[in-house]
Amino acid sequence: VTERATAITQFLVERGAKAVVVACNTATAIAVESLRARFAIPIVAIEPAVKPAASRSRSRVVGVLATTGTVSSPNMAKLLANCGGVAAPLQPWPGLADQVEKGELASLETRALVERYVRPLTEKGADILVLGCTHYPFLRPLIQEVAGPGVDIIDPATAVARELRRRLEAGGLIRERTEQG
DSSP codes of every residue in 116-131: HHHHHHHHTT--EEEE
Q: Which amino acid is at 133?
A: C
- On the CB side of 142, how many CA atoms lie within 13 Å of its CA? 22
Q: Which entry of 24, 83, 113, 146 is annotated as an active-site residue?
A: 24
> What is the rounded CA–CA span in Å between residue 145 and residue 173?
41
Q: Which entry of 20, 31, 83, 133 is annotated as an active-site residue?
A: 133
C-beta atoms surrounding 27 within 10 Å: 22
> What is the rounded CA–CA span in Å between residue 28 and residue 15?
22
Long-range contact set of residues 134-138: C-beta below 8 Å, sequence gap at least 24: 134/23, 134/24, 134/25, 134/46, 135/96, 135/97, 135/100, 135/101, 136/65, 136/93, 136/96, 136/97, 136/100, 138/100, 138/105
24 classed as catalytic = yes
> What is the rounded CA–CA span in Å between residue 83 and residue 52?
8
Active site residues: 24, 133
